[in-house]
Amino acid sequence: MAYYYSEVARTFSEYLLIPNLTRKDCVPSNVSLKTPIVKFKKGEEPSLKINIPFVSAIMQSVSDNNLAVALAKCGGLSFVFGSQSIETQAEMIRKVKKFKAGFVMSDANLSPENTLKDVLQLKEKTDHSTIAITEDGSPRAKLMGIVTSRDYRISRDSVDKKIKDFMTPFSKLIVGKANTTLSEANDIIWGHKLNCLPIIDDNQNLLYFVFRKDYDEHKQNPYEILDSQKRLLVGAGINSRDYKERVPELVKAGADILCVDSSDGFSEWQGETIKYIKETYNGTVKVGGGNVVDKEGFLYLVESGADFVKVGIGGGSICITREQKGIGRGQASSLIEVAQARDEYFNRTGIYIPICSDGGIVYDYHMVLALAMGADFIMMGRYFARFDESPSPKVKVGNNYVKEYWGEGSNRARNWQRYDMGEGDKLKFEEGVDSYVPYAGKLRDNLDITLGKIKSTMCSCGAISIQELQKTARITLVSSTSIVEGGAHDVMLKDNNL
Instruction: Say which of 26, 74, 418, 461 is annotated catalytic.
Output: 418
Asked if the peptide bond before residue 20 counts as cis, ω within 30 degrees of 0, the response is no
* Contact call for residues 55 and 78 (beta carbons, < 8 A): yes
DSSP 24-77: TT--GGG-B--EE-S-EETTS--S-EESSSEEE-S-TTT-SHHHHHHHHHHT-E
Q: How far, in Å, are 190, 415, 473 from residue 78 at the CA level?
A: 33, 19, 28
Say how far apart CA 84 and CA 415 lie, in whole Å.
9
* Contact call for residues 186 and 215 (beta carbons, < 8 A): yes
Task: Give counts: helices (H), strands (E), the chain.
Answer: 15, 24
* Contact call for residues 297 and 402 (beta carbons, < 8 A): no
Write b or e for each residue in 221-231: b if 16 or more Cβ atoms lie within 10 A of its Cβ, otherwise e.
beebbbeeeeb
Q: Residue 247: how many CA atoms within 13 Å on its side-chain side?
A: 24
Instruction: Say which of 319, 356, 459, 461 is annotated catalytic.
Output: 319
Residue type at 213 in one-letter notation: K
Say how far apart CA 172 and CA 75 lie, in whole Å.
39
Query: Active site includes 319?
Result: yes
Residues facing 143 on adjacent strands: 134
Crossing angle for the helix pair 364-372 and 331-349, to the nearest 10 degrees: 30
Q: Catalogue the long-range contacts made by 450-458 (C-beta closer than 8 Å, 24 or more residues apart).
A: 450/364, 450/367, 451/33, 451/52, 452/28, 453/364, 453/365, 454/31, 454/33, 454/364, 454/367, 454/368, 454/371, 455/28, 455/31, 455/33, 456/28, 457/17, 457/365, 457/368, 458/26, 458/31, 458/368
Query: Active site includes 23?
Result: no
Q: Which helix (H) or strand (E) holds 380?
A: strand 377-380
Residue 472: which of 43, 53, 19, 30 has the closest Cα? 19
At 474, phi and psi to the nearest 5? -120, 125
- Tell whether the torsion through CA atoms of 282, 286, 291 and 295 is positive or negative: positive
* Contact call for residues 316 and 11 (beta carbons, < 8 A): no
* Contact call for residues 8 and 446 (beta carbons, < 8 A): no
Residues identified as active-site: 319, 418
